[in-house]
Structure 1
Amino acid sequence: MCVILVKERGIELPTKGVLESCWKRNPDGAGFMFNNSNKVVIMKGFMTFEEFYLRLQTANEFYHLKEKGVVIHFRIATSGLKDKGNCHPYPISNDNLDLRKSFILTELGIAHNGIIRNYNGKDKVLNDTQLFIKNDLFELNSLDKEFYKNVIFQSMIERLIDGSRLVFLNQKGEIIKLGDWFQDGNYYFSNLNHVSKKFLNINKRPQIFDNDLKYFDEENE
Protein backbone atom coordinates (compact mmCIF):
# COMPACT_ATOMS: atom_id res chain seq x y z
CA MET A 1 0.00 0.00 0.00
CA CYS A 2 1.32 3.47 -0.92
CA VAL A 3 1.52 6.29 1.59
CA ILE A 4 0.67 9.98 1.20
CA LEU A 5 2.04 12.64 3.54
CA VAL A 6 0.18 15.97 3.75
CA LYS A 7 1.72 19.18 5.12
CA GLU A 8 -0.50 22.22 5.58
CA ARG A 9 0.68 25.81 5.03
CA GLY A 10 2.76 27.28 7.85
CA ILE A 11 4.31 23.93 8.83
CA GLU A 12 7.93 22.91 8.29
CA LEU A 13 8.68 19.91 6.09
CA PRO A 14 8.94 16.59 7.93
CA THR A 15 12.35 15.31 8.96
CA LYS A 16 14.52 13.21 6.71
CA GLY A 17 13.93 10.25 9.04
CA VAL A 18 10.16 10.37 8.57
CA LEU A 19 10.51 10.63 4.79
CA GLU A 20 13.02 7.78 4.65
CA SER A 21 10.70 5.54 6.69
CA CYS A 22 7.92 6.22 4.17
CA TRP A 23 10.25 5.44 1.27
CA LYS A 24 11.51 2.15 2.70
CA ARG A 25 7.99 0.71 2.87
CA ASN A 26 6.94 2.23 -0.46
CA PRO A 27 9.99 2.12 -2.76
CA ASP A 28 8.47 2.18 -6.27
CA GLY A 29 8.94 5.90 -6.82
CA ALA A 30 7.99 9.19 -5.24
CA GLY A 31 6.73 12.64 -6.08
CA PHE A 32 5.43 15.80 -4.47
CA MET A 33 3.35 18.85 -5.27
CA PHE A 34 2.94 22.34 -3.81
CA ASN A 35 1.24 25.60 -4.66
CA ASN A 36 3.21 28.52 -6.08
CA SER A 37 2.25 31.70 -7.96
CA ASN A 38 -1.37 30.62 -8.46
CA LYS A 39 -0.36 27.21 -9.84
CA VAL A 40 0.23 23.73 -8.48
CA VAL A 41 3.76 22.54 -9.17
CA ILE A 42 4.10 18.75 -9.61
CA MET A 43 7.53 17.11 -9.44
CA LYS A 44 7.68 13.33 -9.55
CA GLY A 45 9.45 10.30 -10.94
CA PHE A 46 12.14 9.99 -8.26
CA MET A 47 13.20 6.36 -8.25
CA THR A 48 15.78 6.57 -5.45
CA PHE A 49 15.39 8.19 -2.04
CA GLU A 50 18.53 10.26 -2.55
CA GLU A 51 17.18 11.77 -5.77
CA PHE A 52 13.81 12.49 -4.15
CA TYR A 53 15.26 14.07 -1.02
CA LEU A 54 17.71 16.25 -2.94
CA ARG A 55 14.94 17.59 -5.20
CA LEU A 56 12.66 18.26 -2.23
CA GLN A 57 15.41 20.15 -0.39
CA THR A 58 16.21 22.16 -3.53
CA ALA A 59 12.53 23.03 -3.97
CA ASN A 60 12.36 24.05 -0.31
CA GLU A 61 15.31 26.42 -0.69
CA PHE A 62 13.89 27.98 -3.84
CA TYR A 63 10.15 28.06 -3.09
CA HIS A 64 10.16 28.24 0.76
CA LEU A 65 7.81 25.29 1.19
CA LYS A 66 6.95 26.09 4.81
CA GLU A 67 4.44 28.61 3.47
CA LYS A 68 3.02 26.22 0.87
CA GLY A 69 0.61 23.35 1.01
CA VAL A 70 2.66 20.23 0.24
CA VAL A 71 1.58 16.69 -0.66
CA ILE A 72 4.19 13.92 -0.89
CA HIS A 73 3.44 10.47 -2.33
CA PHE A 74 5.50 7.27 -1.98
CA ARG A 75 4.35 4.50 -4.32
CA ILE A 76 3.94 0.74 -4.26
CA ALA A 77 2.94 -0.21 -7.80
CA THR A 78 -0.27 -2.25 -8.12
CA SER A 79 -1.18 -1.60 -11.75
CA GLY A 80 0.29 0.06 -14.83
CA LEU A 81 3.99 0.55 -15.39
CA LYS A 82 6.41 0.81 -12.50
CA ASP A 83 8.27 3.82 -13.80
CA LYS A 84 8.76 7.56 -13.40
CA GLY A 85 5.68 8.52 -15.38
CA ASN A 86 3.28 6.58 -13.17
CA CYS A 87 4.46 8.08 -9.90
CA HIS A 88 1.97 10.38 -8.18
CA PRO A 89 0.84 13.20 -8.00
CA TYR A 90 -1.16 13.98 -11.16
CA PRO A 91 -2.93 16.93 -12.74
CA ILE A 92 -6.60 16.86 -13.70
CA SER A 93 -6.29 15.89 -17.35
CA ASN A 94 -7.47 13.35 -19.90
CA ASP A 95 -4.14 13.49 -21.73
CA ASN A 96 -1.84 10.51 -21.15
CA LEU A 97 1.26 12.67 -21.61
CA ASP A 98 0.14 15.15 -18.95
CA LEU A 99 -0.59 12.34 -16.51
CA ARG A 100 2.91 10.92 -16.99
CA LYS A 101 4.97 14.13 -17.04
CA SER A 102 7.66 14.35 -14.36
CA PHE A 103 7.20 18.11 -14.11
CA ILE A 104 4.01 20.02 -14.80
CA LEU A 105 2.15 23.14 -13.69
CA THR A 106 -1.57 22.78 -13.19
CA GLU A 107 -4.55 24.31 -11.36
CA LEU A 108 -5.41 21.19 -9.36
CA GLY A 109 -3.22 18.28 -8.31
CA ILE A 110 -4.23 14.84 -7.03
CA ALA A 111 -2.60 11.96 -5.17
CA HIS A 112 -4.27 8.65 -4.31
CA ASN A 113 -3.59 5.77 -1.94
CA GLY A 114 -5.39 2.48 -2.51
CA ILE A 115 -6.87 0.46 -5.33
CA ILE A 116 -9.76 1.59 -7.51
CA ARG A 117 -11.29 -1.74 -8.43
CA ASN A 118 -13.05 -0.65 -11.63
CA TYR A 119 -9.76 0.49 -13.18
CA ASN A 120 -7.21 -1.84 -11.59
CA GLY A 121 -5.26 -3.77 -14.22
CA LYS A 122 -7.28 -2.33 -17.11
CA ASP A 123 -4.33 -0.78 -18.94
CA LYS A 124 -0.75 -1.94 -19.56
CA VAL A 125 0.69 1.56 -19.20
CA LEU A 126 -1.57 3.71 -17.01
CA ASN A 127 -2.47 2.76 -13.46
CA ASP A 128 -5.91 2.79 -11.86
CA THR A 129 -5.58 6.33 -10.49
CA GLN A 130 -4.64 7.77 -13.88
CA LEU A 131 -7.59 6.02 -15.52
CA PHE A 132 -9.92 7.29 -12.80
CA ILE A 133 -8.72 10.84 -13.43
CA LYS A 134 -9.18 10.49 -17.19
CA ASN A 135 -12.61 8.91 -17.08
CA ASP A 136 -14.25 10.42 -14.01
CA LEU A 137 -12.51 13.38 -12.38
CA PHE A 138 -11.81 15.13 -15.68
CA GLU A 139 -15.54 15.12 -16.47
CA LEU A 140 -16.43 16.44 -13.01
CA ASN A 141 -13.85 19.19 -13.41
CA SER A 142 -15.39 20.12 -16.77
CA LEU A 143 -18.73 20.59 -15.02
CA ASP A 144 -17.44 22.43 -11.95
CA LYS A 145 -13.89 23.70 -11.42
CA GLU A 146 -14.39 23.38 -7.66
CA PHE A 147 -16.11 19.98 -7.70
CA TYR A 148 -13.66 18.70 -5.07
CA LYS A 149 -15.17 21.13 -2.53
CA ASN A 150 -18.75 20.02 -3.20
CA VAL A 151 -19.91 17.62 -0.47
CA ILE A 152 -22.16 15.72 -2.90
CA PHE A 153 -19.30 15.15 -5.33
CA GLN A 154 -17.01 14.26 -2.42
CA SER A 155 -19.43 11.57 -1.27
CA MET A 156 -19.70 10.19 -4.79
CA ILE A 157 -15.91 10.12 -5.25
CA GLU A 158 -15.42 8.31 -1.93
CA ARG A 159 -17.79 5.58 -3.09
CA LEU A 160 -16.00 5.29 -6.44
CA ILE A 161 -12.55 4.92 -4.86
CA ASP A 162 -13.64 1.91 -2.79
CA GLY A 163 -12.79 3.28 0.65
CA SER A 164 -9.25 4.36 -0.23
CA ARG A 165 -7.74 7.83 0.28
CA LEU A 166 -7.43 10.73 -2.14
CA VAL A 167 -6.16 14.29 -1.68
CA PHE A 168 -6.55 17.43 -3.79
CA LEU A 169 -4.25 20.46 -3.72
CA ASN A 170 -5.30 23.66 -5.49
CA GLN A 171 -3.32 26.70 -6.61
CA LYS A 172 -4.13 28.57 -3.38
CA GLY A 173 -2.57 25.84 -1.24
CA GLU A 174 -5.94 24.54 -0.04
CA ILE A 175 -5.91 20.81 0.70
CA ILE A 176 -9.00 18.61 0.52
CA LYS A 177 -8.63 15.05 1.87
CA LEU A 178 -11.16 12.30 1.11
CA GLY A 179 -11.32 9.02 3.03
CA ASP A 180 -9.94 8.18 6.48
CA TRP A 181 -6.62 9.82 7.35
CA PHE A 182 -4.27 9.61 10.33
CA GLN A 183 -2.78 12.66 12.03
CA ASP A 184 0.69 12.32 13.51
CA GLY A 185 1.91 15.58 14.98
CA ASN A 186 1.66 18.31 12.35
CA TYR A 187 1.20 15.92 9.43
CA TYR A 188 -1.53 13.76 7.95
CA PHE A 189 -0.86 10.28 6.53
CA SER A 190 -3.06 8.13 4.33
CA ASN A 191 -1.92 5.12 6.37
CA LEU A 192 0.73 4.25 8.96
CA ASN A 193 2.50 1.38 7.20
CA HIS A 194 5.79 3.25 7.57
CA VAL A 195 5.55 3.38 11.39
CA SER A 196 7.37 0.71 13.37
CA LYS A 197 4.99 -1.49 15.38
CA LYS A 198 6.88 -0.71 18.56
CA PHE A 199 5.51 2.84 18.37
CA LEU A 200 1.88 1.73 18.04
CA ASN A 201 -0.49 1.58 21.03
CA ILE A 202 -0.39 -2.12 21.93
CA ASN A 203 -3.53 -1.74 24.05
CA LYS A 204 -5.55 -0.94 20.97
CA ARG A 205 -4.73 -3.01 17.91
CA PRO A 206 -5.02 -1.07 14.64
CA GLN A 207 -7.69 -2.10 12.19
CA ILE A 208 -6.36 -2.78 8.72
CA PHE A 209 -8.72 -2.26 5.79
CA ASP A 210 -8.48 -4.94 3.11
CA ASN A 211 -9.50 -3.07 -0.02
CA ASP A 212 -9.94 -6.19 -2.13
CA LEU A 213 -11.94 -8.26 0.35
CA LYS A 214 -13.90 -5.28 1.68
CA TYR A 215 -13.68 -6.02 5.39
CA PHE A 216 -11.78 -4.89 8.46
CA ASP A 217 -9.48 -7.30 10.23
CA GLU A 218 -7.18 -6.93 13.20
CA GLU A 219 -3.45 -7.10 12.75
CA ASN A 220 -2.18 -10.11 14.70
CA GLU A 221 1.52 -9.31 14.84
Structure 2
Amino acid sequence: MDAESDIERIAATIGDASRVRMLALLMEGRALTAKELALGAGIEPATASSHLKRLEEDGLLACASQGRHKYFRFATDEVARLVEGLMRVAPRRAAVASAGTPADPERHARFCYDHLAGALGTGLLDLALQKRWLRDDEAAAGQLELTPSGERAMARLGVDVEAAAARRRLFACRCLDWSERRDHLGGALGAALAHELLARRWIERRKHSRVVRITPDGQAGLRGLGLRLAEG
Protein backbone atom coordinates (compact mmCIF):
# COMPACT_ATOMS: atom_id res chain seq x y z
CA MET A 1 0.00 0.00 0.00
CA ASP A 2 2.91 2.38 0.67
CA ALA A 3 4.15 2.02 -2.92
CA GLU A 4 0.68 2.71 -4.25
CA SER A 5 0.40 5.82 -2.06
CA ASP A 6 3.75 7.11 -3.35
CA ILE A 7 2.59 6.70 -6.94
CA GLU A 8 -0.54 8.68 -6.18
CA ARG A 9 1.57 11.46 -4.65
CA ILE A 10 3.83 11.74 -7.70
CA ALA A 11 0.83 11.63 -10.04
CA ALA A 12 -0.80 14.46 -8.11
CA THR A 13 2.40 16.50 -8.19
CA ILE A 14 2.90 16.12 -11.92
CA GLY A 15 -0.82 16.51 -12.58
CA ASP A 16 -0.84 20.17 -11.53
CA ALA A 17 -0.86 22.37 -14.65
CA SER A 18 1.70 24.89 -13.37
CA ARG A 19 4.11 22.23 -12.15
CA VAL A 20 3.95 20.20 -15.33
CA ARG A 21 4.65 23.35 -17.36
CA MET A 22 7.76 23.90 -15.23
CA LEU A 23 8.90 20.35 -15.87
CA ALA A 24 8.34 20.80 -19.60
CA LEU A 25 10.48 23.96 -19.58
CA LEU A 26 13.36 21.98 -18.10
CA MET A 27 13.33 19.69 -21.13
CA GLU A 28 15.56 22.37 -22.65
CA GLY A 29 18.33 20.56 -20.80
CA ARG A 30 19.64 23.55 -18.83
CA ALA A 31 19.04 24.73 -15.28
CA LEU A 32 16.57 27.57 -14.83
CA THR A 33 15.96 30.07 -12.03
CA ALA A 34 12.70 30.26 -10.11
CA LYS A 35 11.87 33.51 -11.93
CA GLU A 36 12.45 31.94 -15.34
CA LEU A 37 10.29 28.97 -14.43
CA ALA A 38 7.55 31.25 -13.10
CA LEU A 39 7.51 33.35 -16.27
CA GLY A 40 7.55 30.27 -18.47
CA ALA A 41 4.71 28.68 -16.54
CA GLY A 42 2.68 31.91 -16.55
CA ILE A 43 2.45 32.26 -12.77
CA GLU A 44 3.65 34.73 -10.14
CA PRO A 45 7.10 34.12 -8.55
CA ALA A 46 5.54 33.78 -5.10
CA THR A 47 3.24 31.05 -6.39
CA ALA A 48 6.13 29.37 -8.16
CA SER A 49 8.03 29.01 -4.89
CA SER A 50 5.44 26.68 -3.38
CA HIS A 51 5.30 24.61 -6.56
CA LEU A 52 9.09 24.31 -6.69
CA LYS A 53 9.16 23.27 -3.04
CA ARG A 54 6.68 20.48 -3.79
CA LEU A 55 8.71 19.32 -6.80
CA GLU A 56 11.87 19.24 -4.68
CA GLU A 57 10.20 17.39 -1.81
CA ASP A 58 8.98 14.71 -4.18
CA GLY A 59 12.45 14.21 -5.66
CA LEU A 60 11.63 15.58 -9.10
CA LEU A 61 13.84 18.66 -9.01
CA ALA A 62 17.21 19.52 -7.49
CA CYS A 63 18.30 23.03 -6.57
CA ALA A 64 21.80 24.53 -6.63
CA SER A 65 22.74 28.01 -5.39
CA GLN A 66 25.14 30.18 -7.35
CA GLY A 67 25.62 33.73 -6.12
CA ARG A 68 22.24 35.29 -5.46
CA HIS A 69 20.38 32.85 -7.65
CA LYS A 70 19.02 29.37 -7.21
CA TYR A 71 18.98 27.11 -10.24
CA PHE A 72 16.61 24.21 -10.70
CA ARG A 73 17.11 21.12 -12.83
CA PHE A 74 15.80 17.57 -12.98
CA ALA A 75 16.90 15.62 -9.92
CA THR A 76 17.77 12.55 -12.00
CA ASP A 77 17.77 11.39 -15.61
CA GLU A 78 14.80 9.19 -14.68
CA VAL A 79 12.71 12.34 -14.12
CA ALA A 80 13.63 13.65 -17.57
CA ARG A 81 12.65 10.32 -19.08
CA LEU A 82 9.35 10.43 -17.20
CA VAL A 83 8.56 13.86 -18.63
CA GLU A 84 9.69 12.73 -22.08
CA GLY A 85 7.38 9.74 -21.84
CA LEU A 86 4.44 11.95 -20.88
CA MET A 87 5.14 14.20 -23.85
CA ARG A 88 5.15 11.21 -26.16
CA VAL A 89 1.81 9.78 -24.99
CA ALA A 90 -0.04 13.05 -24.37
CA PRO A 91 -2.75 13.95 -26.91
CA ARG A 92 -1.87 16.72 -29.30
CA ARG A 93 -3.19 20.20 -28.64
CA ALA A 94 -5.40 21.79 -31.28
CA ALA A 95 -3.36 24.16 -33.42
CA VAL A 96 -3.98 27.86 -32.81
CA ALA A 97 -3.35 29.97 -35.87
CA SER A 98 -2.92 33.31 -34.07
CA ALA A 99 -0.46 32.21 -31.40
CA GLY A 100 1.92 29.53 -30.25
CA THR A 101 3.99 29.40 -33.43
CA PRO A 102 7.64 28.95 -32.49
CA ALA A 103 10.29 31.29 -33.81
CA ASP A 104 12.03 30.09 -36.97
CA PRO A 105 15.42 29.23 -35.35
CA GLU A 106 13.69 27.17 -32.68
CA ARG A 107 11.53 25.40 -35.24
CA HIS A 108 14.56 24.71 -37.41
CA ALA A 109 16.77 22.98 -34.82
CA ARG A 110 16.81 22.79 -31.02
CA PHE A 111 17.40 20.44 -28.13
CA CYS A 112 14.61 18.47 -26.48
CA TYR A 113 16.42 17.81 -23.17
CA ASP A 114 19.44 15.88 -24.50
CA HIS A 115 18.41 14.96 -28.05
CA LEU A 116 17.70 16.92 -31.23
CA ALA A 117 14.30 18.30 -32.16
CA GLY A 118 12.79 20.65 -34.72
CA ALA A 119 13.20 20.14 -38.46
CA LEU A 120 16.73 18.82 -37.88
CA GLY A 121 15.57 16.19 -35.39
CA THR A 122 12.60 15.00 -37.44
CA GLY A 123 14.72 15.03 -40.59
CA LEU A 124 17.34 12.80 -38.99
CA LEU A 125 14.71 10.30 -37.88
CA ASP A 126 13.07 10.30 -41.32
CA LEU A 127 16.48 9.70 -42.89
CA ALA A 128 17.28 6.83 -40.51
CA LEU A 129 13.95 5.16 -41.27
CA GLN A 130 14.25 5.66 -45.02
CA LYS A 131 17.76 4.18 -45.05
CA ARG A 132 16.53 1.39 -42.76
CA TRP A 133 19.04 2.22 -40.08
CA LEU A 134 16.11 2.14 -37.68
CA ARG A 135 12.83 0.23 -37.71
CA ASP A 136 9.80 0.23 -35.46
CA ASP A 137 9.85 -2.34 -32.67
CA GLU A 138 6.77 -4.46 -33.31
CA ALA A 139 6.72 -5.60 -29.68
CA ALA A 140 6.77 -2.11 -28.12
CA ALA A 141 4.81 0.81 -29.51
CA GLY A 142 6.87 3.95 -30.01
CA GLN A 143 10.21 2.18 -29.59
CA LEU A 144 12.76 1.68 -32.35
CA GLU A 145 15.33 -0.97 -33.19
CA LEU A 146 18.76 -0.32 -34.66
CA THR A 147 19.39 -2.52 -37.69
CA PRO A 148 22.79 -3.98 -38.67
CA SER A 149 23.14 -1.31 -41.37
CA GLY A 150 22.21 1.26 -38.73
CA GLU A 151 24.95 -0.01 -36.43
CA ARG A 152 27.46 0.44 -39.24
CA ALA A 153 26.15 3.94 -39.99
CA MET A 154 26.38 4.95 -36.32
CA ALA A 155 29.91 3.55 -36.14
CA ARG A 156 30.93 5.64 -39.15
CA LEU A 157 29.56 8.70 -37.38
CA GLY A 158 31.47 7.81 -34.21
CA VAL A 159 28.38 7.15 -32.09
CA ASP A 160 29.12 4.77 -29.21
CA VAL A 161 26.14 2.43 -29.60
CA GLU A 162 27.27 0.04 -26.87
CA ALA A 163 27.50 2.84 -24.31
CA ALA A 164 24.08 4.12 -25.32
CA ALA A 165 22.56 0.65 -25.01
CA ALA A 166 24.06 0.26 -21.53
CA ARG A 167 22.30 3.35 -20.18
CA ARG A 168 19.30 2.82 -17.92
CA ARG A 169 16.76 4.34 -20.27
CA LEU A 170 14.93 3.54 -23.49
CA PHE A 171 17.51 2.89 -26.17
CA ALA A 172 15.69 4.49 -29.11
CA CYS A 173 12.16 5.80 -29.33
CA ARG A 174 9.86 8.15 -31.16
CA CYS A 175 9.39 11.50 -29.42
CA LEU A 176 6.60 13.74 -30.70
CA ASP A 177 7.97 17.07 -31.89
CA TRP A 178 5.70 19.90 -30.74
CA SER A 179 6.65 22.28 -33.57
CA GLU A 180 6.87 19.83 -36.46
CA ARG A 181 3.93 17.65 -35.31
CA ARG A 182 6.03 14.64 -36.31
CA ASP A 183 8.43 12.40 -34.43
CA HIS A 184 12.11 12.94 -33.76
CA LEU A 185 14.59 10.44 -32.31
CA GLY A 186 14.60 10.24 -28.51
CA GLY A 187 16.15 7.88 -25.99
CA ALA A 188 19.79 7.05 -25.34
CA LEU A 189 20.61 6.71 -29.04
CA GLY A 190 19.13 10.14 -29.82
CA ALA A 191 21.22 11.65 -27.02
CA ALA A 192 24.38 9.89 -28.21
CA LEU A 193 23.84 11.08 -31.79
CA ALA A 194 23.33 14.69 -30.64
CA HIS A 195 26.48 14.49 -28.49
CA GLU A 196 28.52 13.24 -31.44
CA LEU A 197 27.25 15.97 -33.78
CA LEU A 198 28.28 18.55 -31.16
CA ALA A 199 31.69 16.91 -30.78
CA ARG A 200 32.19 16.98 -34.56
CA ARG A 201 31.15 20.65 -34.58
CA TRP A 202 28.43 19.88 -37.09
CA ILE A 203 26.09 21.74 -34.79
CA GLU A 204 26.53 24.51 -32.23
CA ARG A 205 24.22 25.24 -29.33
CA ARG A 206 23.36 28.88 -28.75
CA LYS A 207 24.49 30.14 -25.34
CA HIS A 208 21.71 30.08 -22.74
CA SER A 209 19.34 28.57 -25.27
CA ARG A 210 18.25 25.22 -26.63
CA VAL A 211 18.42 26.59 -30.20
CA VAL A 212 20.95 24.82 -32.44
CA ARG A 213 22.82 26.16 -35.47
CA ILE A 214 24.08 23.84 -38.19
CA THR A 215 27.67 24.81 -39.03
CA PRO A 216 29.12 24.81 -42.56
CA ASP A 217 30.88 21.51 -41.73
CA GLY A 218 27.54 20.20 -40.51
CA GLN A 219 25.82 21.26 -43.70
CA ALA A 220 28.38 19.31 -45.70
CA GLY A 221 28.26 16.31 -43.39
CA LEU A 222 24.48 16.14 -43.34
CA ARG A 223 24.35 16.46 -47.12
CA GLY A 224 26.75 13.54 -47.28
CA LEU A 225 24.29 11.50 -45.23
CA GLY A 226 21.47 12.44 -47.58
CA LEU A 227 19.81 15.11 -45.41
CA ARG A 228 18.86 18.45 -46.91
CA LEU A 229 18.30 21.34 -44.53
CA ALA A 230 18.77 25.07 -44.90
CA GLU A 231 21.21 26.56 -42.38
CA GLY A 232 19.50 28.00 -39.28
Instruction: Confirm or deny a common fold (TM above 0.5).
Output: no
Structure with bigger gyration radius: 2
> 1 or 2, which has the higher helix percentage?
2
**Does 1 or 2 have the higher relative contact order (CA < 8 Å, sep 6+)?**
1
| Higher relative strand content | 1
